[in-house]
Amino acid sequence: MTNIIGTVAPGWEPVREAFAANLANTEELGAGVSAYHRGVQVVDLWGGWFDTERTVPYAEHSLQLVFSTTKGITAIAIAICVDRGLLSYDAPVSQYWPEFAAHGKGDATVAQLLSHQVGLYTVDGPITLEDALDWNTITARLADTAPRWPIGTAHGYHALTYGWLAGELVRRVDPTHRSLGTFVQEEITQRLDIDLWVGLPAEFVKRVSPILASQPNLDPAVAAMMALFMGPGTPGGDALSLNGAFNAESAAGGLGTSVFNTARVMAAEIPAANGVSNAPSLAKVYAATMAPVDGVQLMSDAVRNVARITVTPENEPDNCLVMPTTFGMGFMTSGPFSMFAGPGSYGHPGAGGSVAFAQPERQFAFAYVMNQMANNLAADMRAQALVDACTSVIDSL
């Protein structure tokens, strides 16, 4: 029993079939998928189970932690600031955040920060979880950290630090110095009337389906490779766990799921990793980056077309994830690591499977969330099957 509920527009039935196949034939437990085409919601499905005991169905209003899918929301917040003339992608970060200039970072640009080129994938020295959950502490530590490579000469995934770095820029330039979480609430969530938080209020915790860690890969060769590139003390391991503060024991790339399931971590503002939302909300956000949705357009065409350009060099290995990754202004762009719907796509995947993105060329916005993590950071096969079903429908219209 897969409990598939929701609607698809006429002609979009293949997406329902792909969703049913995921629930029947993969390790899926509970999930949701939503898509917009030409500014209209054409897919809104949810199904499976909220809990591991399979006693509570996954519901329309279930909420889900989406890990790094949050980064795309933070990138949209930055784009709103650029649209309003509060920020420039080309300006030095230190123009807005003077303390950031420490340790030779004075010339680092906003664009370099957003595209993971500033070498601040972790902080200098030991750090506790309590330190990481305190905004002023973690941002001060980052400003006082030396870059791990000459800025602009390489890029490496700032798995957790990206959110505090970008979020502090928003706070610094916002006229009322709102936190990133408050900015998202007032400028995105409330305007679009959706469920989306970076810093979840306690009253909504009961609606969140606990995220389940993936099963460890038992292949000795794979385990050895993961230890080599993602183990403690490696750039990947330190980036994904903040030097161990977030319990880097999860097989799905180092994020300790038990920590992220706690109310205190969900309540903090971790704008790279602890967004809580659902598929229809995320898809609506990305639709509203391309054209007005319910009268709201979140970014201008001009800013969007800058933000979605890949700025990391073609085929440049990621210093933290080892394989090549592709970034624009805070968004992952279409590439081997993050295919999305192909060229022109911009958005972000989350560890274990979730993803949200838009592709203006098809006037297509998409989101997928789930509670059962797969053993990956991106390119989840369940999500890609749904994306492929959507693009096949669009291309046949």
107-134 pLDDT per residue, tens: 999 999 999 999 999 999 999 999 999 9
CA atoms of 231 and 233, how far apart (whole Å): 6
Mean pLDDT value of segment 140-166: 98
The pLDDT value given to residue 379: 77
At 186, the amino acid letter reads E
The pLDDT value given to residue 226: 63
Half-sphere exposure of 143 (CA within 13 A, CB side): 18
The pLDDT value given to residue 232: 80
The pLDDT value given to residue 251: 36
pLDDT band of residue 184 (cuts 50, 70, 90) is: very high
User: Which CA distances in Å does 336 have to 46, 135, 235, 293, 332?
Assistant: 28, 34, 21, 30, 11
Among the residue ranges 42-56, 119-133, 230-244, the one predicted with the least confidence is 230-244
Go through the domains of the chain in sequence order and give each one's CATH number. 64-224+257-375 (3.40.710.10)
| Residue 357 scores a pLDDT above 70 | yes
CA atoms of 257 and 46, how far apart (whole Å): 22
- For 153: left if phi > 0, alpha if psi spans -120 to 50, otherwise beta; the answer is alpha
Mean pLDDT value of segment 87-109: 98
| Residue 56 scores a pLDDT above 90 | yes
CA atoms of 219 and 236, how far apart (whole Å): 20
| Residue 225 scores a pLDDT above 80 | no
Edge-to-edge strand ranges of the sheet holding 40-48: 5-8, 40-48, 30-37, 364-370, 355-359, 346-349, 332-333
The pLDDT value given to residue 248: 41
User: Which CA distances in Å does 165 have to 113, 258, 325?
Assistant: 8, 25, 19
Mean pLDDT value of segment 94-104: 98
* DSSP-derived secondary structure letter, 372: B
Edge-to-edge strand ranges of the sheet holding 196-198: 64-65, 275-277, 196-198
pLDDT band of residue 307 (cuts 50, 70, 90) is: very high
| Residue 104 scores a pLDDT above 80 | yes
CA atoms of 258 and 256, how far apart (whole Å): 6
Across the chain, mean pLDDT equals 93
Mean pLDDT value of segment 297-307: 98
The pLDDT value given to residue 255: 53
The pLDDT value given to residue 375: 78
- DSSP state string for 36-48: EETTEEEEEEEEE
| Residue 250 scores a pLDDT above 90 | no
**Residue 163 is inside which H or E element, if any?**
helix 161-173
Mean pLDDT value of segment 152-167: 97
CB 2 within 8 A of CB 20: yes
